[in-house]
Amino acid sequence: MPTLTFSAAGQSFEVSEGTSLLEFCLENETPMRFGCTVGSCGTCCFVPESGAENLSEMEDEERDTLEMCTGEEGARLGCLVKVHGDVTIRQDGA
Ligand code: FES
């Protein structure tokens, strides 16, 4: 099973392959912050420290929101990604 790690909080979780990051975080106590949950506000923006290749592919909606809310290279939206392998996440404070 893939391991999902929140580096700032020092927390790791085993998740099923293909898990929605949003659904997992809503069902478990994780440090990840969400707002709209539908890919439009940017609150859930994070940068994968490792395992970016293990996240679902970025679609236009996610790309458009990221362009509006951050210029950070490699940033993703937590409410839209699925986890397909080991990923380490850094979200400010998480
Ligand atoms: S929670 Fe709003 S974009 Fe993800």
User: How many distinct helices (H) and strands (E) make up the chain?
Assistant: 2, 7
Please state, in angstroms and rounded to a whole number, the distance separating the CA atoms of residues 38 and 9: 24
> For residue range 4-51, what is the model confidence (pLDDT) as tens digits?
999 989 999 999 999 999 999 999 999 999 999 999 999 999 999 999
Q: For ligand 1, which residues put their CB under 6 angstroms from it? A: 34-37, 39-44, 65, 77-79
Show the domain range for 21: 3-90
Q: What CA–CA distance (Å, rounded) separates 46 from 53?
A: 14
- State the closest ligand 1 atom to the C-alpha of 77, by its place in the atom list counted from 1: 4
Q: Give the three-class secondary structure for 33.
A: coil
pTM: 0.93
Q: Which residue has the higher pLDDT, 77 or 92?
A: 77
How many domains are there within the chain? 1
Of ligand 1's listed atoms, the one at least distance from the Cα of 78 is: 4
Q: Which of 66, 79, 81, 91 to mutate to test the pocket of ligand 1 (most atoms within 8 A of CB)?
A: 79
